[in-house]
Structure 1
Amino acid sequence: MTTPNDPYNQGGQPQQPGGYPQQPGGYPPSAPPLNESELRAPARPKSVDTAYMLWLVAAGIGIISNLISFLTAEEIARETLEAAGLPATSVEPSYGGTVFSLILTVVWILVVMQMRKGANWARILLTVLGGLAVIGNLLSLLLIGILFSIGFLGVLQALFVVVSLVAIIGAIVFMFKSDSNYYFKAS
């Protein structure tokens, strides 16, 4: 077994197989305490802060674009009906989608804040929602002719679609850089 001169046997305690001192109740010794660097959360990298800012830019553009769509909804509905060859005598635009989009933007901002804190679930959710937003923005670009035909506000909406598309793609890329991956795994 062990000898009294065994450097691992402190105080002449009975030994378990493998040379560890026997603990009360037959349990192996506890793990050493964590040092200060292991207890601190990892520092947030610049790529996560950049993704955070890009998400906020995209959300801000979404809010402004939704407010503009309140003003242009009737004109867009009229232009769409005329482009389809239907009479546009009395147009009643739907504002439900715009209100729903504003509510989703508020939830989106809350998820972005969780992503900045290191929540990996928020990063995954933002990636899925961002992918859907990219598809939606690409589909919106199909209506660019209608947006340009309604004047300045339509051109502004088209510009917002392009800027939002770039911001969302950039945010997704920055969330998955190597230093960001380490941050989300360590958080």
Structure 2
Amino acid sequence: MTNPHDPRNQGQPQQPGYPPPAPPLNESELRQPARPKSVDTAYLLWLVAAGISILSNLIGLVIAGDLARETAAALGVSGAAAEPSYGSTIFSLVLVVVWIVVVMQMRKGANWARILLTVLGGLAVIGNLLSLLAFGILFSLGFLGVLSALLVLASLVAIVGAIVFMFKSDSNHYFKVS
């Protein structure tokens, strides 16, 4: 039985004191919006940055002892106090795995992942800028030191690019609708 007061005449009885039921969603409203190219570009840049981080950490394991000695010499600390730290490298590798999981969520349209990546990416940019202070020491370590320094620059570019692409206008619309 239809309610004569139902403006949509949907054939559903209206309960007194409640607003009429919402109309059903059409198929276009049920579909998730198409992922824009800028989100895919940000996704790829985040994966490149993660790959650079993994490579940097592996190089860091190889040059850790030399880097510790060179840093101690530059700071005027005795060589005996310069022991390499491997724990931070291993922790960084574990964080890269978590980072990739968050990047996957960002690609699916999770706005919380976009915000988290922006905050962590900003911290990584600050860390990379501080790493620029050690370029002289890295260049004194030979090929692997030079490669490590260049990876810092590449990481900086990839992270800044990923953040920019995540906040382009079509990306903003995608994250608001998803």
Q: How does 1:81-120 map to 2 (within 5 A)?
A: 81-89=72-80, 91-120=82-111
Of 29, 42, 49, 2:33 maps to 42
Q: Could you say which residue in structure 2 is the equivalent of 1:25? A: 15
Structure with bigger gyration radius: 1
User: Number of matched residues?
Assistant: 175
Q: Is the 8 A contact 1:66 1:102 kept in 2?
A: yes
Consecutive aligned runs of 4 or more in structure 1 exceeding 4 Å deviation: 19-22
TM-score, normalised to structure 1's length? 0.87
Q: How does 1:166-185 map to 2 (within 5 A)?
A: 166-185=157-176
Q: Could you say which residue in structure 1 is the equivalent of 2:42? A: 51
Partners of 1:177 and 1:71 lie apart in 2 by 39
1:35, distance to aligned residue in structure 2 (A): 1.0
- Unaligned runs of 5+ residues in structure 1 are 1-9
1:28, distance to aligned residue in structure 2 (A): 4.0
Identical aligned pairs, as a percentage?
A: 73
Partners of 1:15 and 1:69 lie apart in 2 by 73
1:24, distance to aligned residue in structure 2 (A): 4.3
TM-score, normalised to structure 2's length? 0.91
Structure 2 counterpart of 1:39, one-letter code: L
1:30, distance to aligned residue in structure 2 (A): 2.0
Partners of 2:133 and 2:81 lie apart in 1 by 25
Partners of 1:24 and 1:35 lie apart in 2 by 22
Over aligned residues, Cα RMSD in angstroms? Answer: 2.0
Q: Does residue 153 in structure 1 map to residue 144 in structure 2? A: yes
Q: Is the 8 A contact 1:69 1:98 kept in 2?
A: yes
- Unaligned runs of 5+ residues in structure 2 are none
Partners of 2:63 and 2:118 lie apart in 1 by 30
Q: Could you say which residue in structure 2 is the equivalent of 1:80? A: 71
Partners of 1:94 and 1:61 lie apart in 2 by 20
Partners of 2:42 and 2:4 lie apart in 1 by 57
